[in-house]
Structure 1
């Protein structure tokens, strides 16, 4: 037990080295973890201009099983298809989240059945819980009184934000039927109207601010 505690303290100290950095999470299973290639750079630029962050404009890529994830307080994960975490990946992610890290998973359409199954490897005793519209994450910098905004229609279902908590701390956010990342991409990629892109970027800024301050 003492060894585990010391390991978590060590990992937390690594997280604090890059207090305002984020990275893309690369995972196994064949899913396109690399989708939305312009999304994070645009979100970072928006955050640096509007919520006083100083994030490196070019996000790094880290693998789920690597200790490199502990250098970043915020990990972003997306894709359309299959996700697979080995037991080592799951343990690494669990240690990361319990030692102060934050993971945002944005379903780019089709990811939900795979990621929900794999998250049970990370936290066998925890369930994804839908966040109410009055959760602080929806009001960190920009108000979203109705909760998660709808960016792309896909199946026409309502957008939902789910979380996993360690005691009272939200350590993982899963955004579903919203597709925020598509709204963060360069305008010509999806031809979204400016107001839709703005909603996506503002909600993304709320998530970033929440992750860095909680």
Structure 2
């Protein structure tokens, strides 16, 4: 019964700000604050194109805080080290299994640190690559080949990897794509318009999927 009321509390907290996104401020020295124009640009695109009403100035939350339960979607990015305390990991797990969703966009160099820390959150679960026919690639815009490539780093193919809990995708990790760079202001990376559009459309898919699932 206690677990039921806790889950109900989390659900009501999320519904109170049902269309807002927060940036996850993690420890470890990685630049969680990277790509400062990315999320505001993605939010503006979503509000204009897929009918959302998201606050264009996203809040910042910490993994151990109960504030995360006010947001159905957390966004996390960076280049380097990631560290979760046991309190962080426990709170993130409760958030995710109770209806939350997190998108982690590797800005380059994050993967080895992240994989280790995710074991604290879900010790028995692995990141698994999503097939190209997964619904997240077609919720608003169609990407029949899966995750688009936005920026070159090591010349590797882009991968969308996820953690699924009880048949629900709760975590998406985008690797070797660098969606966030494609969301930034045009003058930051001078990406062609068609590349930026692909990044924003894939981002809109993620937002729509998180809000509807």
Q: What RMSD over aligned residues (CA atoms) do the two structures have, in Å?
A: 0.7
CA distance in 2: counterparts of 1:81 and 1:4, whole angstroms: 36
CA distance in 1: counterparts of 2:63 and 2:181, whole angstroms: 23
User: What is aligned with 2:181?
Assistant: 182
Task: Give the secondary-structure state (helix, strand or coil) at the position aligned to 1:57.
Answer: coil
CA distance in 1: counterparts of 2:110 and 2:192, whole angstroms: 25
CA distance in 1: counterparts of 2:53 and 2:139, whole angstroms: 17
- 1:64-213 paired onto structure 2 within 5 Å: 64-213=63-212
User: How big is the shift at 1:98?
Assistant: 0.7
Query: For residues 97-153 of structure 1, what are the alpha-carbon distances to aligned partners after superposition, in whole Å with 9 as ceiling and x for unaligned?
Result: 011000000000000000011000000011111000000000011100000000000
CA distance in 1: counterparts of 2:64 and 2:189, whole angstroms: 32
User: How big is the shift at 1:3?
Assistant: 2.7
User: What is aligned with 1:52?
Assistant: 51
Q: Please list every run of 5 or more consecutive structure 2 residues that lacks an aligned counterpart in the other structure.
A: none
Query: For residues 3-54 of structure 1, what are the alpha-carbon distances to aligned partners after superposition, in whole Å with 9 as ceiling and x for unaligned?
Result: 3332222112101111110000000000000000000000000000000000
User: What is aligned with 2:40?
Assistant: 41
CA distance in 2: counterparts of 1:9 and 1:177, whole angstroms: 37
User: What is aligned with 2:62?
Assistant: 63
Task: Give the secondary-structure state (helix, strand or coil) at the position aligned to 2:76.
Answer: strand
CA distance in 1: counterparts of 2:179 and 2:60, whole angstroms: 19
TM-score (norm 1): 0.98
CA distance in 1: counterparts of 2:180 and 2:95, whole angstroms: 23
CA distance in 2: counterparts of 1:72 and 1:13, whole angstroms: 11
